[in-house]
Each structure stands twice: as C-alpha cells, then as structure tokens.
Structure 1
Amino acid sequence: MSNLKDFDWTGFWNDVDYAFESYIGKPVTDKDIKAAEADLGYTLPAAYIELLKNHNGGVVKKNCFINDDDDCVYVTGIYGIDRDKKYSLLGEMGNEFWISKVKYPPIGVVVADTISGGHDMIFLDYRECGPTGEPKVVRVDQECDYSMTPLADNFGDFIKNLYISIEDITDEEFQELSDADKVKILNEQEDLDIDRAMELLTNIGIDNLSPILLSTLGRMYNNNGRASEAIDLFNRIDEAHRDWSWYYRCGYAHAMLAIGESYESEHVQKALQLIETGIKMTKEAGLDKQLGWCCEVVKYLLTQIKPKEYKEDYPLIFETIKNVFDNKNSKKTTEDNHIEDANEDEEDNYPTYDVVHWVFNKQTYSREEFSKEYNENVKRYVDDDQADDDDRLEEPEILVTYEAWIESEDQLFYNERVTDEELLEEDKEDGMWQVEIMAHLVADNGTYFTREELLFKLHNLMANKELGDHVFFEGIEYEGHECEGYGLIDNEDGIPVFYICCGS
C-alpha cells in the first residue's frame, strides 16, 4: 500500500474558476467520508482520503499519468465527495451516472476523468480485493468495448505517477525532477512536442547533463536527423556508462551518416564496429528485442553494403543477422503443426518481401520507370543468390494497410479507404490527419503478385501522401482475412490483409 501522508502537493492542483465551480468541494470531515462510503458501498483507500483532506477534488496541473508499462493517460480532474459539485463521486456526473447511464462496468468507483470527455474513465477497481480492500487503479475505455488497462496497484502510486505535461511544464519545474523522472516524462508522453522536449534538456546546459540525459537527448537527435550532434553527445558519456544502448544508438548515428557510402568509409566502419559490440552485449544479456534493433541498423540503414562485404570482418553481425532474419518467419515447431486453421497455414506460406529495401518518395512512376529503378536496387542491395524474384504472393487480390498523413480524403484513390470511423476537423494536427489506410489491390495476371508489382502499386498509392520519416519499406506482415474491407470488397470467404511495414 502507498499512502500520501508525506506527499508534496505543491504544484499539483490547477485551481482555475472551472475547478471551483465543478470539482472542488468544501473541506471534508470523517463523518462526510463515512457517509460517502455508505452511499457508494465501498471503503475508500487511505491514500484517497489523504487527498480529500488536502483538496476535496479538483482539476490537476499534474495531468499526465505514466506508469512503468509505457501507459500514458491525460487526466482532467480527480473527483471529491461534495454532493453539490457536478464532478464528484456523489454528484450529478458521479459514480452512479457513469455506471447506470453510460453503462461502465460496475467494478468499483469512478475516481477521475480524462481529456476524452467521458470516453475513458479512471476507476478504483475492487474486483480482486472486495469492497473493503485496497483497490487497484485502472483505465476503462468505452470506445474499445470497455476494455481495461491496469495503471497502478493502488491509488497512492497513481497520484505519485502524475506529471505535468511537456507542453505545460516550465524549465524550473522540469529541472526540479529527478533524472529518472525527467527521462520518464520525455520517453512516454504521447504526441510529444519534440522541440520543447529537446529545449528542456538543452536549457539545463549540455555540460550539466548526466549520462542518462545525454543519452536521451542523443536519441532525440538521432530521431530528428541530427546524427552528427548525437555522436558528439554520446562521446561525452564515459566508458563506465556505455551499455548496449550506447553502442546501439551511437552505431545508429554513424549508420545514418553512412547511408550511400562505400564499405571502406569511416562512418560505415564505425557503425559496424559499434553494432558488433552492441550485438555481443545484448546476446550476453539475453535481450532479444534489443538484439533485433542492433541487427536492423545494418539491415535497414546500411542497405548499400552487401553481407558478403562484412562477413569476414564482422562475423558476429553476419551470423546474427542471418539467424535473426532467416528464422523470423520460419515455420513453428512440429508440435504446432496440427493446427487446422487455414488462415494460419497461409500465414506461414506468404513471403515477407524484406530483401529489397525500397524508399518511398513523392514521385509517381510509370511501370517502365519503376521497373528500371527497382532493378537497380536489386543489383545494388541484394546478394546475387537472392536477386531472383521467385517468391510470388500467390493471391489474385489482397488488401493492404499502411499509415500516412493526409490533408483531405480527396487524396484517397478509388481503391482506398481510411479505417477511422470519422475524420473530424478538430483532430487535425498542423492541418493533417494521421490515419491508417486500407487499399484493395488486384494482380495484373489475375493469379499472383511479384514483389516488383506489389511495390510499384504500393509506391504510387503512397506518393501523394505524407509518410514523415517512415519511408523505408521493411516488408509486409499478414494480418488475417477480411470479408468487406471497409466497403472495398464483398467476399464471404475473405481475402488476405497485409500490413505494410515502414521504418525511418
């Protein structure tokens, strides 16, 4: 149990007029608490009672909740127990309203609302502990069939993991945080203002940044095309603090600078040296996901370098990439072979097309123009024994999904639909919607797609849309079969759907 007896409430509440009108109630007494518990049918946790005694509900300035599982929720206010306040446990928009009228599940007590305006709510969850126990805190999402996301083991931990959002925090407030908390709010906030995030760190002074903050800022530079500056930051980190992530991130930066350069170039060699060490460290630590990241630096950034060039100098990279990517889509062990689901069998048979790494751009190609440039890519980036395009996608028609930014639905072709229910003007950012698009493709020969044909059709679909920095084609992933495809098809047996993987 985590209580709030010694919690510092400084800067926690946002006492605006709206808060006094709708949330903040009169000071509470023990009698008020007992009466509220009787009406609710639940014993309120000690940490929540501590909050009530400090502030009987209110709008929060620390409005961004972040836990250790990368869950981020933006909270509007926390409910008090004053019956005269609209947003309180016993008020007009209180616990009974959300459960009886809006049909949220009766798992406990609605304790906070979010910026969604009621489409997701924060609950004290008494299902495991019973009405007199210590409840957990969960987010319940009405839009996703009332799905529940665990947030904290108790209310005290929930409060302690609320932070001021990047958009609202001042330099002084940011600098008062521990380094661990600084990294937490920079890494996990959704829709992060990256310029403001970098400004918060640089305003501390580069010479004053600890190794963990140098690494965090370096990662931001990497992700925003500032590889040279990232390398300068990484080199400031002393040997004692250079873990696998240092070698991975520094190798990534050198690989970004090495794009298009020959095998003998300084940046190519430096990238390979660093990634070789990063692979060794992740293998020793059993970090499979991070091992994959290290491999991807070579496979998806140094695409001009053929494996046979580094096979002798960097045998660990060569063998690891071969094992990781050759086995990624291999069949499951024989103990799983009895599964009779036809779609699952088909997933094993579909190619992933991750050999040629096409870069999407704004040019619309004719078939002849595309074929010429595509074949140049095959010659440059693919080993001789992989150059033949025999891995056909044996389907006469497919659905594909990809992510992009659009200014208008007029950018969609006749064979495309957005998968969002509705595009609202208020949801635009910088004049654009971020959407997932589904498209219907038919093979020219009515029987199968070649890799070249598929890439040609994908490229011309994407050319008039904004992909951000996710322009590197990394393959396709089978997602199942679809019968309607948002009105694109009408097939009672369904046709396969593939997600188009793009990287930066």
Structure 2
Amino acid sequence: MSDLKDFNWNGFWNDVDYAFESYIGKPVTDKDIKDAESELGYILPAAYIELLNNHNGGVLNKNCFINNNGDCVYVTGIYGIDRDKKNSILGQFGNEFWISKWEYPPIGIVVADTISGGHDMIFLDYRECGPTGEPKVVRVDQEGDYSITLLADNFGDFIKNLYISIEEITDEEFQSLSDTEKVKLLNEQEDLDVDRAMELLTNIGIDNLSPTLLSALGRMYNNNGRPEEAIDLFNRIDETHRDWSWYYRCGYAHASLACGESYESKHVQKALQLIETAMKMTKEDRLDKQLGWCCEVVKYLLTQIKPKEYKVDYPLVYETIKNVFDKKNSKDTIEDKVTTEGKVTGDINECEEDKYPTYDVVHWVFNKKTYSREEFSKEYNENVKKYTDDGQADDDDRLEEPEILVTYEAWIESVDQLFDNERVTDEELFEEDKEDGMWQVEIMAHLVADNGTYFTREELLFKLHNLMANKELGDHVFFEGIEYEGHECEGYGLIDNEDGIPVFYTCCGS
C-alpha cells in the first residue's frame, strides 16, 4: 500500500475552466465518501481518499503515466465523487455509464479517463482483493477487445508515477525531477519530440550533467546520427561509472563512424575493443538481451568487416556471434534486431560461418521480365559473376535446405497475382484499404530446390525474380540479400511440417 499523505500536489492539477465545469466537485465530507462506497459497493482506497480531500477530481497537468515496465498512458483527468460533475465516478459519464453503455468489464471502479475519448479507461481493479481490499490500477482497452493491462499495484503508486508530458514540461519542472525520474520521462517520451528531449538535458549544462544523464544524452545522440557528440559525452564519464552500457554505447558510436572503413581503421578497432568488453560484462551479469544488442553493433553497423578478420584479435566477439546466438536457438532467445541503439525490432543476426548464407553482396535488380531458366542464367552470369571478392563459385555458397519459405514486400491489385505457392501474410484484405488501387502486402512463398537437397544462389534468385515480376515493387528493386527469420510449421497453409522449415526475408533497397 502506498499513501499520499506527504505527496507534493504542486503542479499536479491543471485548473482550467473545463476542469471546473466537468471534473472538479465540491469539497468532500466523510459522509460523501461513505455514501459513494455504499452506492458503488466498494471500499475506496486510502490514497484515493487523500486525493479527494486535496481536490475532488480534476484535469491533470501531470498527465503522463509511466511505470517501470515501460507502460506509458496519457491521462486526461482523475474522477471525483461529486455526482453533479459529468466526469466523476457517480456522474453522467461515471462508472455505470462505462460499464452499462460501453460494455467495459465490471471489475471495479472507473477512476480516470484518457486522451482516447473513452476508448481506453483507467480502473480500480478489485478482482483479486475483493470489494473491501486494496485494488490495483489497470488500463482497459476497449478497442483491444477490452484487454486489461496492469499499471500499478495501488492507487498511490499510480499517482506518484504521473509526469508532465515532454511537450509541456518546463525546464524548471524537468530539473526538479530526480535523475531517475528524468531518465524515465525521456526514455518513454523522447519519440514525441526528440529535439525537446535533448534540449531539456543540454539546458542543464553539459558540465552539470551526472554520469546517468550524460549517458542518456549520448544515447539520444547515437540514435539521431550524432556519434561524434555522443563519444564526447561518453568520454566525460568517469571510469568508476563505466558499466556494460557505457562500453556498448561508446562502441555503437565508433561503429557508426566506421561505415565503409577497413578493418585496420581507428573507429573499427575502437568499436570492436569496446564491444568485446561490453560482451564480457553482459555475459558476467547474464544480460542476454543486452548481449544481443552488442552482437547487432558488429553485424549491422560494421557490415564491411568479415568475421574472419576479427576472429584472432577479438575472439569473444567472434565466438559470441558464432555460438551463443546460433540460428537454431535465436527464435527462443533473442527475437529482436536492433536498428537504433537499444531499440529492438526483428530477429538476431547471423555471421559468415552460420548455417545460412545472406547473399548480401549479390548485385541484382528486379524488373518486370519473366525469365526462362536459360535466359536468366545468361544474364545472371553477365551481371553477378563478380559479386564475391574471392571468386567463390556459385555452387560453393549454397543454401543447404531442400525447401524454404521466403517473404517479400510488394503492391498488388488483386490476389489473382499470387502464384499457387504464395500467400499474403495479412489476415484480410479490404477494398477500402487500397491506395491508388493497390494493397501494400507482405507475401510468403514456398520454394523447393530442384535437386531436392539445396539451392544455389542462381536458382534461388531466379525463383525470387519470377515471383516478383508480375507485382509492383516501387523503387525497392535492388536485391540486398536474405535474412533468416526462424522456422515455420504452417506457412499460412503453404506447408504442413511439425518440425518447420526455415523462413527468409528478401531485402530490397532503393
């Protein structure tokens, strides 16, 4: 239980005319509280009663709820118990209205509304504690089939985790927060206005930032294409405060600067040195997700560096990517691919000696021509024979699977454009979703190797090309390789294999 007896209400409420009209009720009495409890059939939590004694409902200035799990909800107002105010628990848009008219589940009391205008509401949830216990605070999403998300274990914690929106907070209000609160606010809201997020920190003065805030600002610089400034900030942090994240973030910045440089370059070497240390620290602390981020820096930022180049100098980097994040286990361990520092989006990377090739150095441009095998082979050999720097024969770099699933993105006017071995991955296509007469879709196709054992590069590209030839690719016509995405057992009805077969995403650039 968390009470609000010592809570600082300064700056909490936004007493605009609308608040007085629709939310803020007359001062409460003990009788008002007892009568409300009797009518509702629930005992109100002590922290909520503290709030009522301060302000009988109202619109919030601190309107952004952020908890430690990364949940972020924008709250309009807290409901009071004055039935004469329409936005109150007993008012026109109170508990009975949301449960009977909007069919919200009868799990307790609607205590706050959000910026969605009724499409998600904040409840006191009495399901576990019963009508006389301490309720949890949850968000119920009407548009998500009334799904319920836990926000806080009690009402007091909910109130204490409300912050002013990054778009509204003043420098003075931001600087009054603790470092932990500043970082929490920035982490959850910087996407709303990243320039303002960085400004809030820089306005404190770089020399006045703590190691925690220097690291937070450096991370934002990394994510917004400013690695030189990020490195300057990271170097200001004393060695006693350099944890795994310092080495990871600093390595990320150097790797960003190393684009196109050779293995011997200063930034490549510095990035690998830092990531090697970060990997050691994350392994010691059993931080599997963060270890995956370290792997991603090497694979997706140092794309020009081959594993065999750093195998001897940086054995931990090499072995970690090669062994710890093996393809067969990646879907059950690290399911996300990092595209910006610490932000995850897809499946873990592979290295040169992994089971599957990527073919990311093959140069091919997709077009509208459907080729015969002979025609394709001729053009392929003319345009692609120099795609490897070691003269490796096509048959030496084969994909050792008898059958695979491939996915790619395209625009189609009709499902009639799909071949028998293709399906769209969208659940349903509606005419009203078309843009300029076409749907943008992801397509999955089932391919079988001609020899029943493996695919050569030429065979795979030939089959991919002819699948795409009758579809619109826009300006994404340059083949950039394939990425392993895991194993699939059904493939939208294309296969039926309880062991699954590998799925590869076809990367196309403009």
Same fold? TM cut 0.5: yes
Residue 195 (structure 2) pairs with residue 203 (structure 1) = no
Question: Aligned partners of 1:409 and 1:191: how far apart in 2?
Answer: 32
Question: 2: CA distance between counterparts of 1:40 and 1:85?
Answer: 17
Q: C-alpha separation between the residues in 1 aligned to 2:183 and 2:28?
A: 37
Given the superposition, is the C-alpha separation of residues 330 and 178 from structure 1 closer, same or farther in structure 2, using an over 3 Å criterion? closer
Relative to structure 1, the CA distance from residue 171 to residue 249 in structure 2 (aligned partners, 3 Å threshold; closer, same or farther) is: same
1:37 match: 37
Structure 1 Cα separation of the partners of residues 314 and 496 of structure 2: 51
Contact map agreement 1:480 1:497 (CA 8 A) in 2: no
Q: Which residue of 2 aligns with 1:273?
A: 273
Q: Tell me if structure 2 keeps the 8 A contact 1:300–1:357.
A: no
Quote how far apart the aligned CAs of 1:364 are. 6.5
Relative to the length of structure 1, the TM-score reads 0.78
Q: Distance in 2 between matches of 1:52 and 1:501?
A: 58
Aligned partner of 1:343 in structure 2 is none
Partner residue of 2:284? 284
Structure-2 residue corresponding to 1:231: 231
Q: Percent identity?
A: 66
CA distance in 2, matches of 1:273, 1:72: 36
Q: Which amino acid aligns with 2:442?
A: M
Q: 1:499 to 1:444 in 2, by over 3 A?
A: closer
- Contact persistence 2:166–2:190 (CA under 8 A): no
Native 8 Å contact 2:64 2:165 kept in 1: yes
Residue 439 (structure 1) shift: 3.0
What's the counterpart of residue 242 of structure 2?
242
Give the aligned partner of residue 12 of structure 1. 12
The one-letter code matched in structure 2 to 1:259 is C
- Counterparts of 1:359 and 1:77 in 2: how far apart (Å)? 55
Across the aligned residues of Structure 1 and Structure 2, the Cα RMSD in angstroms comes to 4.3
1:11-38: CA deviation from partner (whole Å, max 9, x where unpaired)? 1111222222211111111111111100
Out of 363-372 and 275-284, give the one that drifted further.
363-372
- Checking the alignment, whether the CA contact within 8 Å between 1:43 and 1:133 is kept in structure 2 is yes
| One-letter identity of the residue aligned with 2:77 | G
Paired residue type of 2:25 = G
Take 2:15 and 2:381, find their aligned partners in 1: how far apart are those partners?
63
Aligned-partner residue type, residue 403 of structure 2: E
Deviation at 1:250, TM superposition (A): 0.5
When residues 259 and 213 of structure 1 are mapped into structure 2, their CA distance, relative to the original with a 3 A threshold, is same
Are 1:477 and 1:500, in contact at CA under 8 Å, matched by a contact in 2?
no
Whole-Å separation in 1 of the counterparts to 2:297 and 2:393: 22
Q: 1:356 aligns with which of 355, 358, 380?
A: 358
Closer, same or farther in 2 for the Cα pair 1:442/1:3, shift >3 Å? same
Corresponding residue number in structure 2 for 1:468: none
User: 2: distance between equivalents of 1:409 and 1:378?
Assistant: 34
Q: C-alpha distance in 1, partners of 2:136/2:108?
A: 10
The answer to whether the Cα contact below 8 Å between 2:485 and 2:502 also exists between their aligned partners in 1 is no
1:82 is aligned to: 82
Cα pair distance change 1:445/1:317, threshold 3 Å? closer
The alpha carbon displacement at 1:353 in A equals: 8.9
Q: Which residue of 2 aligns with 1:258?
A: 258
- CA distance in structure 2 between the partners assigned to 1:61 and 1:353 by the alignment: 55
Question: In structure 1, how many angstroms separate the alpha carbons of the residues matched to 2:18 and 2:297?
Answer: 50
Quote the offset at 1:329 in angstroms. Answer: 3.4
Partners of 2:254 and 2:482 in 1: CA distance: 21
2:398 is matched with: 389
1:294 aligns with 2:294: yes
Q: Which residue of 2 aligns with 1:349?
A: none
Deviation by residue 1:271-305 (Cα, 9 ceiling, x = unmatched): 11101111111111111111111111112221211
SS in 2 for 1:439: strand
Q: Secondary structure, in 3 states, of the residue corresponding to 1:109?
A: strand
Specify the alignment match of 2:443 in structure 1: 439
Whether the 8 Å contact between 1:475 and 1:501 is mirrored in structure 2 is no
Q: Normalising by the residue count of structure 2, what TM-score does the alignment of the two structures yield?
A: 0.77
Aligned to 2:138: 138
Q: Residues of 2 paired with 1:40 and 1:145: CA distance? A: 25
Offset of 1:176 from its aligned partner?
1.1
Residue 341 of structure 2 corresponds to which residue in structure 1? none
* Larger Rg belongs to: 2
Give the match for residue 64 of structure 2: 64
Instruction: Give the aligned length.
Output: 459
Single out whichever of 285-294 and 32-41 deviates more from structure 2. Answer: 285-294
- How many angstroms apart in 2 are the aligned matches of 1:105 and 1:192? 31
- Once the two structures are superposed, what CA deviation does each residue of 1:200-230 show, in whole Å capped at 9, x if it has no partner? 1111111111111111111111111111111
Corresponding residue SS for 2:229 = helix
Q: Could you list the per-position Cα deviations for residues 108-148 of structure 1 after superposition, in whole angstroms to 9, with x for gaps in the alignment?
A: 11111111122211111111111011111111112222211
Residues 135-164 of structure 1 deviation map (CA, whole Å, 9 limit, x = unaligned): 111111122222111111100000000111
CA distance in 2, matches of 1:373, 1:204: 56
Residue in 1 aligned with 2:147? Answer: 147
CA deviation string 1:15-67 (max 9, x = no partner): 22222221111111111111110011000001001111111111111111111
Give ranges in structure 2 of 5+ residues lacking alignment: 333-353, 370-375, 419-423, 434-438
Deviation at 1:192, TM superposition (A): 2.5
CA distance in 2, matches of 1:308, 1:207: 42
- Cα distance in 1, alignment partners of residues 122 and 327 from structure 2: 42
What per-residue deviation string (whole Å, max 9, x for no partner) do you get for residues 147-191 of structure 1? 111111100000000111111111111111111111001112374
Q: What amino acid maps onto 2:57 in structure 1? A: G
CA shift for structure 1 position 374: 7.3
1:221 pairs with 2:210: no
Do the aligned partners of 1:413 and 1:461 also contact (CA within 8 Å) in 2? no
Cα distance, 1:324–1:100 mapped onto 2, change above 3 Å:
same
Which whole-Å CA distance do the structure 2 matches of 1:114 and 1:442 have between them? 45
Residue in structure 1 matched with residue 311 of structure 2 by the alignment: 311
Q: Equivalents in 2 of 1:379, 1:182: separation in Å?
A: 49
Distance in 1 of aligned mates of 2:408 and 2:63 = 34
Cα 1:424–1:90 change in 2 (3 A) is farther
Structure 1 residues 385 and 357: alpha-carbon distance in aligned structure 2, compared to 1, 3 A threshold: closer
- SS of equivalent residue, structure 1 residue 329: helix
Range that drifts further, 294-303 or 122-131: 294-303
2-structure distance, mates of 1:422, 1:166 = 37
Is contact 1:257–1:267 with CA below 8 Å preserved after alignment?
Answer: yes
Does the CA-based 8 Å contact 1:126-1:136 persist in structure 2? yes
CA contact (8 A) 2:190 2:197 kept: no
Could you tell me which residue of structure 2 aligns to residue 341 of structure 1? none
Q: 1:46 to 1:245 in 2, by over 3 A?
A: same
Paired amino acid for 2:258: A
Amino acid at match of 1:53: N
- Hey, what does 2:349 align to over in structure 1? none
- 2:399 partner letter: D
Residues 1:52 and 2:56 aligned together: no
Please state how far the C-alpha of 1:331 moved relative to its aligned partner: 10
Match of 1:324 in 2: 324
- Tell whether 2:164 aligns with 1:164: yes
Write the deviation string for residues 75-133 of structure 1: whole angstroms up to 9, x where unpaired: 11111111111111111111111112222111111111111122211111111111011
1:265 deviates by: 0.7
Change (3 A) 1:164 1:128: same
| Counterpart residue identity of residue 139, structure 2 | R
Cα deviation for residue 476 of structure 1 reads 2.4
- 2: distance between equivalents of 1:34 and 1:209? 49
